[in-house]
Amino acid sequence: MKNLAIIGGGGWGTALAIILAPRFPRVRLWVYEADLAARMSATRENDVYLPGCLLPRRVEIVTELPAALDGAEIVLSAIPSHLVRGLYQQMLPFLNESMVFVSATKGLENGTLLRMSEVILDVFRNRLTPHVAVISGPTFALEVARLEPTALVVASTDGTLAETVQGAFSGPTFRLYANSDTIGVEIGGSVKNVVAIGAGVVHGLGLGHNTMAALITRGLAEITRLAVAMGGAAQTLAGLAGLGDLVLTCSGDLSRNRMVGVELALGGKLEEIVSSMKMVAEGIKTTNAVADLAKRHSVEMPICEQMLQMLQFGIPPREAIQRLMDRSLKGE
């Protein structure tokens, strides 16, 4: 495959353009903001979302979806979860069944509770039969763009498709592992953002390694329970898309979701925190969807429930931690 279209000019989309440019003769990066696109074309730098990282010359910056999609063999979307449905609906007239669609978005659609691959399939319903894969794992955009060794997962119910994307995307510093469990991979990538807000609370309150280790471990148990209840495989959550991504997002200073928890623990107001951020912290929007999914599948998720209580109903972060400790005793 020679032609790649990347939809989304945020930090992750830009990093993917940088890391994948050597793998494709033609890469087009669709950027929503016209002024940003003009600067990126001139300076080869995304000064808003990924400053200091230069885009290779072969990456063409475009602002029109038809131009981005013209001749594309792989369409890789790296956009906030709440925009996926609308953008795919806009792209639909310019798509065809020969294209491969890869979702790099970690999140759930509020209301429908669909995973991103399901949203894409829903948009295409009764129109064409798309080839869809997802990529997820422990990836900070800045470190990927700096060409630091990174490992992640590509998942598709079509094993041949997963291997095709694996071969097309893997390179010297970007290693993909193929997986058939899209449910486990997408649930791991989505719910870990909710747990990461809790990790930020732990850090912001000045609590130590004991607390953080307990939160990560019990958070992984919650994610696994939900994924399995939805038809995913437990072993997927023990891998890069589960444990790996959870550890990164809960412990890394580049984690936006962790930062939200830190700021809340320090007394910040959620509205002010969100308004000060350039990029989306997916965990904020995902928390409601996770709580609804837990109810739908009768899965107990106390950490995610307390994050909901904190974000939606304003209970103090320290009280949220104490509620978790005061729960009735159980076996592991």
d(CA 165, CA 167): 5
The answer to whether the beta carbons of residues 191 and 226 sit under 8 Å apart is yes
Q: How many CA atoms lie within 13 A of 323 on its CB side?
A: 17
Q: Are strands 100-103 and 45-46 parallel, antiparallel or unpaired?
A: unpaired
- In the set 192, 278, 295, 330, the catalytic residue is 192
106 tagged catalytic = no
Catalytic residue positions, numbered: 192
